Structure 1
Amino acid sequence: MKPWIKRSLLGLAGATLVLGSLTACGHRMHHGGWGADATPEQAAQWRGKMVDRIAGKLDLNAEQKAKLTVLGDKLHAQRLAVRGGADPHAEVQSLIAGRQFDRAKAQALAQQKTDALRSGSPEVIAALADFYDSLDAAQQQKVRGFIERRRGWGRG
């Protein structure tokens, strides 16, 4: 293949990758409290609705519902820690603001996100285990069925 064709294809692939990344980072979820611009009160209200919905489907008692609430709070805190204080869209834009991609800043950003995930994961895992272990066999089977049918909690 001729060199100019290779360069053109690589340039096109690079531009597609950058545009795809910007589009993905620019997309925000605005589901009544889950979005990036939600107030803490809106986020808590949304988590409360999700806990009520899950509690209804699993017929949870008060103790189980309390453990599910703790899990929701831990997941929210983990999400905020991974997201950090900055706007993710602005963070990505800063990587490509100059003439060249800022590799060092991108690596530092990835390390920051990884560290936040690593430090908060034990609490999330403990909360999930406490909740799941508090369920009876029938409720655990319902959870496995939900996950199998929806391939995760977030789809429906």
Structure 2
Amino acid sequence: MKRLIKKTLLGLFGGALIVGSLGACSQRGPGGWHAGADGSPEFRARMVEKVGSKLDLDAAQKQKLDVLADKLQAQRAALRGASDPRVAVRGLFVGDKLDQAGAKKLIAEKTAAIQAGSPEVIAAAADFFDNLRPEQQQKVREFMERGRRWGHRG
């Protein structure tokens, strides 16, 4: 049973890390996902509009996508924490030896943030995806299969 819990937590942590990384990598300028918990309303509106046009979403579906974007951004902000995570990781390597207690504490904090916010993110993602038409769901699957943003050149 412990092994299953560890694998589940690792999977959730990895998933949240990937979602946060994708949000960070898709950033093109000031604001957006890098702006923290409040974010850039313009970036979010553009993202919802772009995805909405690619999937041909109706108003109700766009609203569900907006809720999902809110939950993802809140989860990313919770995972990031109050300080720059790069500084926290670099802090583990300042002494002669790796600060194992600090590393365990950092992992525990990140895991707790994932556990706290994941149910809301999963529910919002399910609500959005489950309310798409079959052809829209197929477009989402194809996008995820490609592993990159829509309209990406190169």
TM-score of the superposed pair, with normalisation by structure 1: 0.72
Partner deviation per Cα, 1:97-127 (whole Å, 9 max, x = no partner): 2222110001100110011011110000000
Letter matched to residue 126 of structure 2: A
Deviation at 1:91, TM superposition (A): 0.5
- Residue 106 (structure 2) aligned to one of 84, 106, 109: 109
Q: Which whole-Å CA distance do the structure 1 matches of 2:80 and 2:47 have between them? A: 21
Aligned identity (percent) is: 47
Unaligned runs of 5+ in 1: 1-27
Q: Which whole-Å CA distance do the structure 2 matches of 1:77 and 1:42 have between them? A: 9
Letter matched to residue 137 of structure 2: Q
The corresponding residue for 1:87 is 84
After superposition, residues 124-139 of structure 1 pair within 5 angstroms as 124-139=121-136
The corresponding residue for 2:61 is 64
TM-score of the superposed pair, with normalisation by structure 2: 0.73
Unaligned runs of 5+ in 2: 1-23
Superposition RMSD in Å? 2.2
The corresponding residue for 2:73 is 76
The corresponding residue for 1:47 is 44
Return closer, same or farther for 1:35/1:140 CA change in 2, 3 Å cut-off. closer
Deviation at 1:154, TM superposition (A): 8.0
Q: Which whole-Å CA distance do the structure 2 matches of 1:154 and 1:101 have between them? A: 41
Letter matched to residue 46 of structure 1: F
Q: Which whole-Å CA distance do the structure 1 matches of 2:33 and 2:51 have between them? A: 20
Return closer, same or farther for 1:65/1:133 CA change in 2, 3 Å cut-off. same
Partner deviation per Cα, 1:30-74 (whole Å, 9 max, x = no partner): 5232454x2666533212111100000111010000000000010
Deviation at 1:77, TM superposition (A): 0.3
Letter matched to residue 44 of structure 1: P
Q: Which whole-Å CA distance do the structure 2 matches of 1:92 and 1:123 have between them? A: 27
Q: Which whole-Å CA distance do the structure 2 matches of 1:116 and 1:61 have between them? A: 32
The corresponding residue for 2:147 is 151
Return closer, same or farther for 1:91/1:40 CA change in 2, 3 Å cut-off. closer
Which of structures 1 and 2 has the bigger CA Rg? Answer: 1
Return closer, same or farther for 1:52/1:112 CA change in 2, 3 Å cut-off. same
Of stretches 97-106 and 117-126 in structure 1, the one that deviates more from structure 2 is: 97-106
